[in-house]
Amino acid sequence: MKTKITELFGIEYPIILPGMSWISVPELVAAVSNAGGIGYLATGPLSPAKTRESIRRIKALTNKPFGVGITLLMPGAHENAMVAIEEKVPVLNISLGKGEDLIKKVHAYNGKVIATVTTVQHALAAQKSGADALQVTGYEAAAHGSQVPTLVLIPAVVDAVKIPVVAIGGIADGRGMAAAFALGAEGIGMGTRLSITKESPVHDFCKKKQLESGIEDTIYSNRFDSLYCRVFKTPSAEKAYKQGRNLRKGFKASLAIAKAVDIPWMKLVTAASSSPKGEKSERPKESGANSGSASKPKEKKSLMDKMLKVPKMGMNLMHIAQAYVDIQHATETGDLDKGFYLSGQVQGIIHDIPTVAEVINRTVKEFLKIQEEIAAKIK
């Protein structure tokens, strides 16, 4: 196939594995790249040392182009980005923040940058910053998708910008790929579909439950990690949606995160102190057993006391930290009673667990067949 995305990245098929934390690990990234698409390493949960180790592992597993995902809102993101740049990764995927300086550094060694956006406004800003392409994530997607469906969002962005667009959200096969290209996209991303494959590190129980579930069995809310996010519908997810999160549990989780990504706790707090512009809160008021301030020790000042002095900072950190721990727990152990699992609405049209190569090959085959059928109908 030949599209602006295949030419830009030097790949065979315009199919992308997004950078999904605890899922887009070196083995899955390499499998997608080896099958003709391109995978992005998820660096959100990684320290700079782990990021470098993971990039070198991918290089050992494939000689094809691959990418590294950098969520700029997250603590340690800049350090991980610099590691990726030092390693001269072919593609850098940036999201949730401005990355002009990083883009210049990537372009200096002839690398490419694709920015993930969820609004026309952010798409225009990313284009102005120098991004080579856009990854546009619609409402249907797992995790942080737009509040606008892919069917409307993609043509709106395509009309507004001059750089190529990759469509993500609601795509799991050749039918979705054909629809995305009809909307003006030059490539597609398939996070949920590629996470339900033999090479995916997702726990087998999670994969099995997704195959048993329908398109309605997800929840979209900003009560999980402070941003609008889609998760698999489970009793624990429904409870969090209705009741909010526990501040003290979130504080404890934040300490674990700081240790895992090897950064000072206060830097983590600072990074969580603000949400991207335009995000609206729908969190319930904290009260009773869920209120961190209700049981706050009065006799001793602590890190938690300092956090509570800035309500927005505390609430954001509470949501992000608990989500981090709960999503990792479910993804790695399959415990959907206590953890959360990110899943897109396309889970309801996925019915098997094939290899990555099988997914990509049959998606392309179906896409080409649909194109031929449509062409025949309009003659």
For the segment 92-105, the average pLDDT, to the nearest whole number, is: 94
- pLDDT exceeds cutoff 50 at 294: no
- pLDDT exceeds cutoff 70 at 286: no
- Ordered structural domains, the chain, with CATH: 4-211+349-377 (3.20.20.70), 214-333 (no CATH)
CA–CA distance from 333 to each of 192, 328, 343 (Å)?
18, 8, 16
The predicted pLDDT at position 325 comes to: 76
For the segment 271-283, the average pLDDT, to the nearest whole number, is: 45
For the segment 248-268, the average pLDDT, to the nearest whole number, is: 60
- pLDDT exceeds cutoff 70 at 312: no
Provide the pLDDT confidence category of residue 339 given band limits of 50, 70 and 90: confident
**pLDDT tens, residue by residue, 212-242:** 999 999 999 887 777 888 999 988 888 877 7
Range from 141-150, 186-195, 232-241 carrying the lowest mean pLDDT: 232-241
Among 42-46, 148-152, 307-311, name the most confident range: 148-152
Specify the higher pLDDT residue, 244 or 90: 90
For the segment 51-73, the average pLDDT, to the nearest whole number, is: 96
Provide the pLDDT confidence category of residue 290 given band limits of 50, 70 and 90: very low
The predicted pLDDT at position 289 comes to: 33
The predicted pLDDT at position 98 comes to: 84
The owner of tokens 């699992």 is 341
- pLDDT exceeds cutoff 90 at 177: yes
CB atoms within 10 A of CB 352: 9
Find, among 214, 167, 213, 219, the residue nearest to 189 by Cα: 167
- pLDDT exceeds cutoff 50 at 13: yes
- Separation of alpha carbons 179 and 340, rounded Å: 30
Annotate 81-107 with b (16+ C-beta within 10 A) or e (fewer). bebbbeeebbbbbbbbeebeebbebbe
Residue type, 40: Y
∠ CA(241), CA(24), CA(223), 5° rounding?
A: 10
For the segment 14-38, the average pLDDT, to the nearest whole number, is: 97
User: How remote is the C-alpha of 23 from its chain's centroid?
Assistant: 10
- pLDDT exceeds cutoff 70 at 15: yes
For the segment 57-85, the average pLDDT, to the nearest whole number, is: 94
Annotate 137-184 with DSSP letters as a single string: E-TTSSBS--SS-HHHHHHHHHHH-SS-EEEESS--SHHHHHHHHHTT
- pLDDT exceeds cutoff 60 at 33: yes
Range from 260-269, 295-304, 333-342, 350-359 carrying the lowest mean pLDDT: 295-304
For the segment 165-173, the average pLDDT, to the nearest whole number, is: 98
- Separation of alpha carbons 199 and 62, rounded Å: 14
- pLDDT exceeds cutoff 50 at 117: yes
- For all residues of the chain together, what is the average pLDDT? 85
The percent of residues in the chain predicted with pLDDT above 90, rounded, is: 66
326 close to 245: Cβ distance less than 8 angstroms: no
Q: Residue 6: how many CA atoms within 13 Å on its side-chain side?
A: 10
- pLDDT exceeds cutoff 90 at 363: yes
- Separation of alpha carbons 172 and 13, rounded Å: 15
The predicted pLDDT at position 268 comes to: 59
For the segment 62-73, the average pLDDT, to the nearest whole number, is: 95
The predicted pLDDT at position 309 comes to: 47
- Separation of alpha carbons 208 and 213, rounded Å: 9
Find, among 359, 371, 370, 369, the residue nearest to 17 by Cα: 359
Alpha helix (H) ranges present in 17-149? 26-34, 48-61, 77-86, 100-108, 120-129
The predicted pLDDT at position 178 comes to: 98
The β-bridge partners of 189 are: 16, 168
∠ CA(57), CA(60), CA(64), 5° rounding?
A: 110
Specify the higher pLDDT residue, 336 or 256: 336
The percent of residues in the chain predicted with pLDDT above 70, rounded, is: 79
The predicted pLDDT at position 307 comes to: 43
- pLDDT exceeds cutoff 60 at 123: yes
For the segment 104-128, the average pLDDT, to the nearest whole number, is: 98
105: its two tokens: 């550094």
153: its two tokens: 């969002």
Find, among 100, 101, 138, the residue nearest to 117 by Cα: 138
Sign of the torsion angle spanned by Cα atoms 313, 314, 319, 321: positive
- Separation of alpha carbons 115 and 332, rounded Å: 28
